[in-house]
Amino acid sequence: MKKLLFLLACVILANQGSAQTKLDQDREAIKSLAGFYKVTFNYAETFSPDDDYKFHERHRSSAKEIAIILEDSPKKIVIQHLLVMRGDSMIIKHWREDWTYEDTQLFAYDKDNAWKKVTLNNADVKGKWTQKVYQVDDSPRYQAIGTWVHVDGRHQWQSNTDSPLPRRESSERNDYNVLNRGNNLYLTSNGWMFEQDNKKIVRSATGDKLLALEKGMEEFVKTDPKSFGYAQDWWKKQQAFWKDARETWDAVFTENNYLKIQTKVGDKLLYEQFFALGDQSAKENWTSAQNKEGIRKIIDAYLVKSS
């Protein structure tokens, strides 16, 4: 009996060690997304069920980008992306990704700039990571859940979720209102790849209609950190404001089970208000209380109140 108990204890300890190793592998893969990159963006529509559909031109662009780890705790990793343009003289706060482990709560995109809070079962999230992607103003974009797989030297995470129109099309098109994203993220020898198999959906009260399929490839290739000096200095001046922005948005997410955000108030887009406030805060050395007061006023002005 003692021998049997000993063997069982060994099996349990071995499984625990294996589970911990898997979690460590997940965390290392996620953290390796941070760094200094040359990024190329390539998107092409590939199919439509409508014979009369006119395919849009391929989208190709490139940029330099720095991805900075803002938070690194056992079950949460936050990475902020900054676009670096005109050499190293123009910085744009880009998207943010929060990775959370076995997270049972997320905001699922509905349509027309609205999100619904969804609660998942523990069994649904076991061993899985949620990637929560935020807009340049830290408002929500999309949230997706998937499992990191580490096999044969390959490190890969896959998911499927709905999102708003991509920024490259949101100001140019109104013939669809939901992008169903098939996300495939994997590490490469010199960076990482974000491969997408997307569906452009027309969503209405009667259901979903497929407009077109799209293939996307975003390749992040590591590059020399020396050309990112100004970007890092810029972020040091801005980071306190954006920390307050994240915390203010977190309070809004906690308070609401449904979020709908207006695209414009007056002539101003939401991100324009945030960027202007961030510059003012950095210039005048605002306190956290001043930041949060100004940020909350902006958010409240853009939130569509529930009837």
Per-residue pLDDT of the chain (307 residues; tens, 9 = 90+): 555 444 444 444 344 445 558 999 999 999 999 999 999 999 999 999 999 999 999 999 999 999 999 999 999 999 999 999 877 778 999 999 999 999 999 999 999 999 999 999 999 999 999 999 999 999 999 999 999 999 999 999 999 999 999 988 988 899 999 999 999 999 999 999 999 999 999 999 999 999 999 999 999 999 999 989 999 999 999 999 999 999 999 999 999 999 999 989 999 999 999 999 999 999 999 999 999 999 999 999 999 987 5
Is the pTM higher than 0.85? The answer reads yes
- Rounded CA gap, 168 and 137, in Å? 16
Question: CATH topology for 18-225?
Answer: Lipocalin (2.40.128)
Strand partners, 188: 191
> What value, to the nearest 5°, has the Cα angle with vertex 203 and ends 198 and 206?
140
Instruction: Give the largest Cα separation in the chain, rounded.
Output: 77
- Rounded CA gap, 195 and 215, in Å? 8
- Rounded CA gap, 266 and 163, in Å? 25
Among residues 146, 145, 142, the alpha carbon closest in space to that of 114 is found at 142
Helices (H), 155-287: 167-170, 229-255, 270-284
